[in-house]
Amino acid sequence: MNRKERRAQKVERKRAQVKARRMPPGYVDLVKRLAKLTAQWCRAQTPPPELQFHDRGDVLYAGSLGDPAAVKYLANSPDAFRLCAWLDEQTGRQATIFQMECALRFMGAFEKSTEKFSSPAVEMLTTFAKATGTDTPVPPCPCGHCGVTLEMVSGKKGEVPEEGVFTVCVKCGGLNQFGPGMVLQAFPDERLDELPAEFRAHLEEARDLMRWARLNYKQPRKATVFS
């Protein structure tokens, strides 16, 4: 490639970046929809999917989410390819690779994410991830969803779990509730309507974020996060 061709390529790349910043009406809405649909898809999978994606770094993704030749630059596991194909169908084949990457980055799938936002669920999981809260040993008990034995509960500094407290399994992200004798009992999604709207939203967000954390989680601790 000669100097003129390299200069033309650089100009074209800058034009593409400018276009990406000038998001047309509905563009951001579709990104948000992709994030919600992804969380919905993950909740429906048994066992939890193994999702791996390539971090684009400074490279600009282009192409349709339904184009395997383009998806291979984003998806990096069989489940990730299945997810992209499903999302392509659910969005009427309107979504792009770049929009999917934006949705993933919004969900915290990449360690180098520049998105800055906070919520009670994010703060709770940040406390767990950075080990700045209180870890409380509990009688070993299997998660009501995936069966992994949980023997430690993490909460905010000074918080100690008791009967009735809800937990999020660090392995599968499933919601459990401590019953008599501090025995974990699965709390199915169908019962979320029984909870106050704000608390329900907090639990759902914590559950989904924990599941997304598995994208970069190598060796889960035998613990559960409670709220």
Q: DSSP strand E in 20-178: where?
A: 134-142, 149-155, 166-169, 175-178
Is 186 contained in some domain? yes
Q: Give me the mean pLDDT over the 197-209 stretch.
A: 82
Strand partners, 184: 178
Does the residue 8 lie in any domain? yes
Record the pTM.
0.47
Domain finish residue from 55, 82, 106: 106
Residues 80, 162 within the same domain: no
Cα→Cα distances 126→37, 41, 118, 181, 215, Å: 24, 24, 10, 28, 16
Strand segments (E) across 88-161:
134-142, 149-155
* Res. 193: pLDDT tops 80: yes
User: Is pLDDT above 80 for 126?
Assistant: no
- Please give the structure tokens belonging to residue 167: 């937990």
Structure tokens at 71: 């998806």
Which residues span the domain enclosing 205?
120-226
Tokens 């970069």 map to which residue?
216
| C-alpha radius of gyration, the chain, whole number | 20
Whether 38 and 77 map to the same domain: the answer is yes
Q: What are 130-179's pLDDT values in tens digits?
A: 777 788 888 899 998 888 898 888 888 888 888 999 988 888 888 999 99
Confirm whether 41 is domain-assigned: yes
Q: Are residues 131 and 210 in the same domain?
A: yes
Residue 197 lies in a domain: yes
Number of separate domains in the chain: 2
Per DSSP, the three-state class of 115 is coil
**Is 209 in the same domain as 132?**
yes
Q: Is residue 99 part of a domain?
A: yes
